[in-house]
Structure formats: C-alpha cells, structure tokens
Amino acid sequence: MAFCRQSSISFRCSHVLLFPQIPHQVAAHMTETLRRLDVLDLAARASIAHPEAIFTATGGTRVSDEKLRNLRDMLLEQATTHGYPGLASEEQRGQFDTLASVGLHTRMQIAPSEAAKRGIWEFMTCVLAPDIVRWRFPGEGGGTSSERFLTGRRNTFQRLWWRAHVMRDDLRQDNCYALIALLGEDEIVQIMERPNLAGYRRLTAHVGAGLLSAVERHREMPRRILIREVQKHLLRLSSIVMFDALEEEQLHCLTQELYDQVVAAVSGNTGSST
C-alpha cells in the first residue's frame, strides 16, 4: 500500500486574532453619513469600538484595544507620508496601497476564514479608519462611493489585505510581498477580480513574476494586454488542468509559455491554441 505525501500551504491557527465586526445593516446606515463628511471630521469620529460590534464566537483571541490603536496609527502614518489629509496624487495613493497591504496582512494576524467575515472590513472602514477611506477615495462631488466603505471587492482595506494574502510569495526569501510593489494597480485588479484563479496562490505568484519577465523580454507589449490575455488563457485551462498539483518548475513553464503565446498572437505571428 502506498501513502501520499501531504503538501499544503495552510493557515495554522496558534495565534489567531479575532477582530470586531459590525452588522452590514449598521455599516450601510453609517455609510450614508460617513461618505460625505470631511476627512478631519471623520478623523475625530474614528474609534476602536462600536456598541453593535460582535466577534466570532470561538477559535482565537479577541484583538486588544492597544492593537487596534496601533493598527489605526500605522494606517494613519502611512497615509500621512503620502499626502493625508490633503489630496493625494495617483502615485501617492498607489504607494499607500502597497504599504497598507503589507501592513494589514502582517499586523492583523487573522486567518483567511476570519478575513472572509465581511463585518471586519466594515468595522475597519466605518469605525476604525473612516477618514483614511475618505482620503484614499475622495470621489467626485457626491462623496466617496459606498462600495469603498461596504464589504466587497472594492472595500478600501479588504481589497488590500486579500491582495497581500494572494500575492505573497513564500518562496521569496528576501521579500515575500515584492510582487505587490512591482505590479501596477490595473494588473493587481486583473488578478484579484478573477477569484477562480486568485485562489491558486502559487499560480498567482508565477503569473505576477511571469509578467515582469515578459515585460523585460517584450518591452513593446502593453502590460495590461499581456496579463489580461494570460488570465483568459488560464481561465480556460482551469477546467481541465489542476494548477495546484503542478510543481514550481511546471508552473513557471506554463506561465512563460502562455505569455509567449500571447505576445505571438498580439504581434500577429502564428499563434498556438490553448
């Protein structure tokens, strides 16, 4: 009888923190007001607690007040370095996103299953740091879009935590979060807005690294086209190829092949089908 080897990158929960969550109906009600207030008014309202906050019942330790204050202080410092409370440039906002992604992922110490609790992110945006939401996404005359406060792919902090989680490359000894800084916002969105593919973390690391390599080799090719088309190829392959079972070298070869195919197709050379 043969036994298989266990191979899984999995979250081990010896020090899981539980964060406060607010009910969605409370967040939706609060957002109607918060989204139009001035940044500094919101800073005065920021708090580490809310009377309707709840916690996941079991499985970890409730985050301390001190840790919540430290988290807010970290975000505030990162924002201040990039223009807060004034209007920030696109470059400044992008740099804030990179720092905040890594900061949230390393400091919050939450399990993916806890991060999937939407009330946590609505607590972060509506209670802990509403001013930073308003600053990061000022919006047009009508205020910040509600989706930046409410849970979803565009929640200000939820999107940052998940991109750090998905794009963290555990095989990189020097900086496992390097990809977040090296990829542009559009490219990260291309990755994150395909949850069927984003769940394959090792594949995502290779897609990101592969893009950077392809851009070096094909400087004339727009990055957004490269990654968009490769993602389409991968989506088609995902129903017949098990990406998680591929070894690192196989993932590398697959992504390289797909980037080369895209370049050939876009350049008008003979392309091969997936």
Partner 1 sequence: MVVTAVPYLRPGAGLVQAEQWQVLGDEPQALPALLPHWDYNTEVQVGRNVVVDIAAIRHACQFVDDVPLKLVAAWSSPGSFQRGVLCSLCPLPQHEQVVLRGSLNGGDVVSSVRIDTLLLLGASNIDPAPLSPMRAGSVLWRDSATVVVEGTGSRFPIEVIDFDSTAWAPRGAAWFLLWNPFDVDQPFLGAVRLFINASHEQVVRAATTASTESSTVAIRSAIYFDVGRALLRGGLANPDFVADPDGFPRGTTGHAIATLLRTTFPGESVLELRNLLKERPEYFDGVLQAKFNLFQM
Q: Indicate whether 150 belongs to the interface with partner 1 (CB under 8 A).
A: yes
| Residue carrying structure tokens 């309202």 | 45
Q: Is 222 helix (H, G, I), strand (E, B) or coil?
A: coil
Q: What are phi and psi of 74, to 5 degrees?
A: -65, -50
Contact indicator for 256, 213 with CB cutoff of 8 Å: yes
Q: How far is the CB of 96 from partner 1 (least distance, A)?
A: 22
Nearer to partner 1, 220 or 272 (CB): 272
Around Cβ 116, how many Cβ atoms within 10 Å?
13
Q: Is 122 helix (H, G, I), strand (E, B) or coil?
A: helix
Question: What is residue 244's DSSP assignment?
Answer: G
Residue of 112, 139, 184, 222 that binds partner 1 (CB under 8 A): 112
Name the H helices within 81-111: 90-108
Closest listed residue to residue 164, CA positions, set 176, 149, 148, 172: 176
| Segment near partner 1 (CB under 8 A); pick from 73-81, 94-102, 143-151, 259-267 | 143-151
Q: Which of residues 52-81 bind partner 1 (CB under 8 A)?
A: 56-60
- Across 30-120, the runs of DSSP E, i.e. the strands, are 61-62
Number of residues that bind partner 1 (CB under 8 A): 60
Contact indicator for 144, 134 with CB cutoff of 8 Å: yes
The rounded distance, in Å, linking the Cα atoms of 158 and 125 is 9
Nearer to partner 1, 87 or 171 (CB): 171
C-alpha count within 13 angstroms, C-beta hemisphere, residue 25: 1
Site string for partner 1, 1-40 (x = CB under 8 A): xxxxxxxxxxxxx--x-------xxx-xx-----------
Residue of 147, 213, 252, 256 that binds partner 1 (CB under 8 A): 147
* Interstrand relation of 61-62 and 17-18 (parallel, antiparallel or unpaired): parallel
Residue of 99, 100, 108, 254 that binds partner 1 (CB under 8 A): 254
Q: Which of residues 182-211 bind partner 1 (CB under 8 A)?
A: 193-196, 198-200
Nearer to partner 1, 41 or 193 (CB): 193
Q: Indicate whether 151 belongs to the interface with partner 1 (CB under 8 A).
A: yes
Nearer to partner 1, 200 or 259 (CB): 200
Q: Which of residues 223-242 bind partner 1 (CB under 8 A)?
A: 235, 237, 239-242
Q: Provide the binding-site residues for partner 1, judged by CB under 8 A.
A: 1-13, 16, 24-26, 28-29, 56-60, 111-118, 146-147, 150-154, 162, 193-196, 198-200, 235, 237, 239-246, 250, 253-254
